[in-house]
Structure 1
Amino acid sequence: MSDMETEKARAAAWFRDLRDQIVAGFEGLEDSHGTGPLSDAEPGRFEVTPTRRAAPDGGDAGGGLMSVMRGGRVFEKVGVNVSTVFGTLGERAQAAMAARKGLPGMAEDPRFWASGISLVAHMQNPHAPAVHMNTRMFWTPHAWWFGGGSDLNPCIEYPEDTAHFHAAQETALAPHGADLYPRLKAWADDYFFIPHRGRARGVGGIFLDDHNSGDWAADFALIQDIGRAFLPAFVPLVETRRTQDWSEADKHTQLVHRGLYAEYNLVYDRGTKFGLETGHDANAVLMSLPPMAKWV
């Protein structure tokens, strides 16, 4: 097995392990919700479904696991998906990648391999923030790179929650350079902006893409630290907010904010576009959409 094949296998195994940690952590939040709204309901559990990528010739093109919990005590809908897919890019994807990444030769050799984890959580309690996280590795014969990050999406913002979430990201990135957190925070602020609404999707976080320093091990360590930071950044916020009472007005605010989330993911999100254009399971790609939303 070549060095790159070994590295691809390590990355895919890491994303699967991170998925397992998060699923266990979220089911633990369901089990430990002992007081407050919905605490007398049955704790939620993930439904796990294998997914497959549709290859044009009907052959093996990879797949993954779609893990979705609906109607829990804490989570109204949460998906934690992991996948490893491969094949050849279609002409539109080739052109987009060549233009955005400056990769020559995509038309001559359009093979690709991609692995990653993608998570979106929509909460029962309007005081508990929604959240998004993903980490991924992408390979073509012309280049490899990592991408991902996490961002917080409260409908009712608590400044102390925002500060905690960002502090956890800054701590995770500190070993990789003092300039990294400010740069990735600014990147997230730009990436998760909704132009047609003239506002951000949430309160930000960190984001990077096309990351290739030339040192695969160092870049993999960075993406692992981004993934490891997620549970410590998010779980304490849920533990604090899940016990708060909410009003109909609070729920209305939450559902309207979810409309913004849906608009962004359907109009701008690169992962959504890539997943649908390359034939991955549509239900897995669109897992990020909220169970209910409002537009006013």
Structure 2
Amino acid sequence: MFDTEKTTASAWFRQLRDQIVTAFEAFEDSHDTGPFSDASPGRFEVKETTRQSEDGSDAGGGLMSVMRDGRVFEKVGVNVSTVYGTLGARAQQAMAARKGIPGMTEDPRFWASGISLVAHMQNPHVPAVHMNTRMFWTPHAWWFGGGSDLNPCIEYDEDTAHFHSTQKTHLDPHGPGHYPRLKEWADEYFYIPHRKRARGVGGIFMDDYCTGDWAADFVLTQDIGRAFLPAFLPLVEKRRVQGFSDADKNTQLVHRGLYAEYNLVYDRGTKFGLETGHDPDAVLMSLPPMAKWV
């Protein structure tokens, strides 16, 4: 059951990964003026990742693609994975409590596939960004999740407006209520309680999304992914040539500290990946190469 849907979703996440990797490497090649333009163009290092079940048997894996010290990207990771097996006791309890799914103790099988991206930029005027989309299946329920959010250390109102308007354009065909609902969801999810602030300027996000119509929910998930490059790349194009000061770079490093705090303390994807035995380097790929706390 659901084998076709699983294969289709997994293939889409891989296709989106390939498009993004190609676009980011093209930016590295074309950056021939402005800060860091005299460096060698960055390239993704690709590593296969694996997940093993508690008994040591194969339980899926994926590709971890990371670029470091490029002209435009200081560190960017684009990961895809498809993993499966049985949930451990802690994960069963957490899922049963959060999602209200009965039967997880009796049959704790799961399957999950998705793409996860985090980009930390060389130039502090270029915003950091996060994107992920995923599908999760158990014998008792299935759902989609994910979104993208912008994390500038130096905010520009016009950049924020472009990022949000592009996402709205991609969501509006699914109904006028989708964008405001997913925007509010992102504002709630990407909030750092102990700092009493958001980690960025928001975006769109959904979790546990299942209307009962798999095909319609999958198309929505695809459009969340399709919105990413047109929402983000024009901002990179505009800001990558700007000069910056030591104070700007310091602001960037401090802001990255917020990002690290959120991902280590609150992010559900980080917790799930570590609790289910996925490659820790892939799970923690989102952390910035350098950060600073005041």
1:141 to 139, 142, 146: 139
Q: Report the secondary structure of 2:58's partner residue.
A: coil
CA distance in 2, matches of 1:179, 1:56: 43
- Kept in 2: contact 1:63–1:83 (CA 8 A): yes
What is the aligned partner in structure 1 of residue 53 from structure 2?
Answer: 55
Q: Identity across aligned pairs (percent)?
A: 81
The alignment status of 1:67 with 2:98, answered yes or no, reads: no
CA distance in 1, matches of 2:36, 2:209: 42
- Kept in 2: contact 1:54–1:281 (CA 8 A): no
**Counterpart mapping for 1:18-37 below 5 A:** 18-37=16-35
Deviation of 1:58 after TM superposition, in Å, equals: 1.2
What is the aligned partner in structure 1 of residue 99 from structure 2?
Answer: 101
Q: Which letter maps to 1:18?
A: L
Over the residues paired in the alignment, what is the CA RMSD in angstroms? 0.5
CA distance in 1, matches of 2:36, 2:287: 22
Q: Which letter maps to 2:167?
A: Q
1:274 to 269, 272, 283: 272
CA distance in 1, matches of 2:60, 2:133: 18
CA distance in 2, matches of 1:150, 1:34: 28
CA distance in 1, matches of 2:52, 2:187: 34
**Counterpart mapping for 1:144-159 below 5 A:** 144-159=142-157
**Counterpart mapping for 1:68-217 below 5 A:** 68-217=66-215
- 5+ residue gaps, structure 1: none
Instruction: Map Cα deviations across residues 125-179 of structure 1 (whole Å, 9 max, x no partner).
Output: 0000000000000000000000000000000000000000000110010011101
Deviation of 1:54 after TM superposition, in Å, equals: 2.0
CA distance in 2, matches of 1:271, 1:162: 25
Instruction: Map Cα deviations across residues 84-117 of structure 1 (whole Å, 9 max, x no partner).
Output: 0000000010000001111000000000000000
CA distance in 2, matches of 1:191, 1:225: 20
CA distance in 1, matches of 2:52, 2:27: 35
Instruction: Map Cα deviations across residues 59-83 of structure 1 (whole Å, 9 max, x no partner).
Output: 1100000000000000000000000
Runs of 4+ in 1 over 4 A off after TM superposition: none
The alignment status of 1:232 with 2:230, answered yes or no, reads: yes
